[in-house]
Chains A and B, each alone.
Chain A
Amino acid sequence: MPDDPAFVERLRAGDKEACAICVREHSANIYNLALKLTGEPAAAEDVLQETFLSAFKSISRFEGKSQLSTWLYRIAYNAVLMRLRKRQVETVSLDEPVEDEEGVPQPRDFADWSENPERALLDAEMHRMMDDAVASLSETLRSVFVLRDVNGLSTAQTAQVLGLSEEAVKSRLLRARLALREKLSAYMVGRAAEAKR
């Protein structure tokens, strides 16, 4: 429904119920993107409000060339970028894995924890660790990873939101995934050692 032209028309007409549906459908993904990229709940809330206020105000400019969700993500991402630039935070992590000439990080950890059942892995401590691992990525890798692997956008949608080529999205996604694999592997080894004590 949210990409149906009739639904977009309702948004254009200022239909409050349609606006509420749009918010219900997309707010978690927008908030999550903003939170993961800014690292600050207050900034994420500002971005969330700004995104929908701006979207509903300028919905007449939405031409339907992309999906509504992609358009909303673009507004949110631009709002995040403005905040990051204002802060001028140095986001390149010092402990990112060593990269080879082509920019693919070299694996350093070869512990096999792939057989661990997911239910046993996804506890509160693991959630925190997974969040910290994403936060340690550089902004360029983090934005691609969150859109693709957390929010579930396609490669094409991610490229549209970030203004990148699909090849660049794929390359950054692989680097992000390999970096996160290293962090998760190190954590799993520590967790297994602790369980043995």
Chain B
Amino acid sequence: MNKDECQHLLSQLGDYVDGEASRAMCEEIERHLADCENCRVVVDTLRKTVMLYHTRGPDPVPGDVEERLYKALDLKDLG
């Protein structure tokens, strides 16, 4: 594991994880990942972290909060 290479990879990970990295960048990252177990774990668990938050999504508005919102907006009969 080359620490400079790992650091370089880290700074490029955003586009890579979002599928927005160029082909050349993907190849460079994947070459590094093939030889670096720690970076492979970081990439896999980073993807999983993002996926967990995506899957969970926003919490619903609590019923009483929603009721007061519709009342404040004078939309009570349409809520």
Contact = CB atoms under 8 A, between A and B. Distances in A.
Interface of A: 16-17, 19-20, 23, 27-29, 31-33, 35, 41, 45, 48-49, 52-53, 56, 100, 102, 104, 106-107, 110-114, 116, 118, 121-122, 126-127, 130, 145, 149-152, 170-171, 173-174, 177-178, 180-181, 184-185
B24 interface: no
Contacts of B74: 16
Contact of B69 (A48, A121, A126): A48
6 contacts: A19-B73, A27-B66, A28-B60, A28-B61, A118-B52, A130-B56
A104 B10 CA distance: 7
Given A52-B69, A170-B15, A177-B14, 5 more contacts: A20-B79, A110-B37, A114-B45, A150-B56, A180-B53
Contacts of B72: 49, 53
Contacts of A19: 73, 75, 78
B47 interface: yes
Interface of B is mostly: helix
A102 B59 CA distance: 34
Contacts of B44: 112, 114
B22 interface: no
A56 B73 contact: yes
Interface string B31-64: 0000001100110111111111111111111100
Contacts of B78: 16-17, 19-20
A49 B11 contact: no
A184 B49 contact: yes
A118 B51 contact: yes
A152 B54 CA distance: 7
Nearest to B55: A118
A149 B38 contact: no
Nearest to B16: A174
